[in-house]
């Protein structure tokens, strides 16, 4: 029975990490860091969308640009859905816009990787609280 709180804490840390990967800033939102979560969500989403806009949707390519894809998939599992769509269609990204788009989308993924680590670390150290466990104080 002594391991039960430890297992619950481990599951909570896992939930924070997975939510932070699925939705950028979601892990911070779960530990009640709402402003930080909003900033992370807006920053990573806009960076990724600008990369798609500049380079076209074909910059997400797990076959021809595998190292870039590993960075891009850190942004969200939705990148995998974009990749499947690009592999089934006839999408191409050429030249400098394609390169810039790959860089932007990869940076967005790596920024999300940092925010995932941040959220899990903050949850581990107890800086944030699980939603529903902290009493709201009204001043």
Separation CA 11–CA 96 (nearest Å): 44
Tens of pLDDT, residues 47-69: 999 999 998 888 998 988 899 99
In degrees, to the nearest 5, what angle opens at C-alpha 78 toward C-alphas 126 and 82?
A: 155
Separation CA 135–CA 81 (nearest Å): 39
Q: Which ranges in 56-94 belong to alpha helices (H)?
A: 66-72, 78-88
* pLDDT of residue 131 exceeding 80: no
- Rounded to the nearest 10 degrees, the angle between the axes of helix 34-55 and helix 95-125 is 160
pTM of structure: 0.83
Q: What is the mean pLDDT of residues 119-136?
A: 73
Tens of pLDDT, residues 110-126: 999 999 999 999 999 88
**Cβ-contact 104, 47 below 8 angstroms:** yes
Tens of pLDDT, residues 66-118: 999 999 999 999 999 999 988 887 777 777 778 899 999 999 999 999 999 99
Structural domain boundaries of the chain?
4-125
- Which among 52, 110, 38 has a CA at the least distance from the CA of 76? 110
């Amino acid at each position: 029975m002594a391991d039960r709180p430890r297992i619950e804490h481990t599951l909570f840390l896992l939930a924070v990490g997975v939510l932070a990967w699925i939705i950028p800033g979601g892990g911070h939102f779960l530990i009640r860091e709402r402003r930080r979560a909003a900033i992370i969500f807006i920053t990573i989403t806009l960076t990724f969308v600008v990369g798609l806009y500049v380079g076209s949707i074909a910059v997400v390519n797990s076959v021809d640009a595998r190292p870039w894809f590993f960075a891009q998939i850190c942004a969200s599992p939705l990148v995998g859905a974009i990749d499947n769509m690009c592999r089934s269609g006839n999408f191409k990204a050429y030249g400098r816009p394609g390169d810039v788009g790959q860089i932007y989308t990869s940076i967005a993924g790596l920024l999300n990787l940092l925010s995932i680590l941040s959220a899990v670390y903050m949850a581990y150290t107890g800086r944030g609280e699980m939603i529903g466990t902290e009493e709201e104080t009204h001043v």
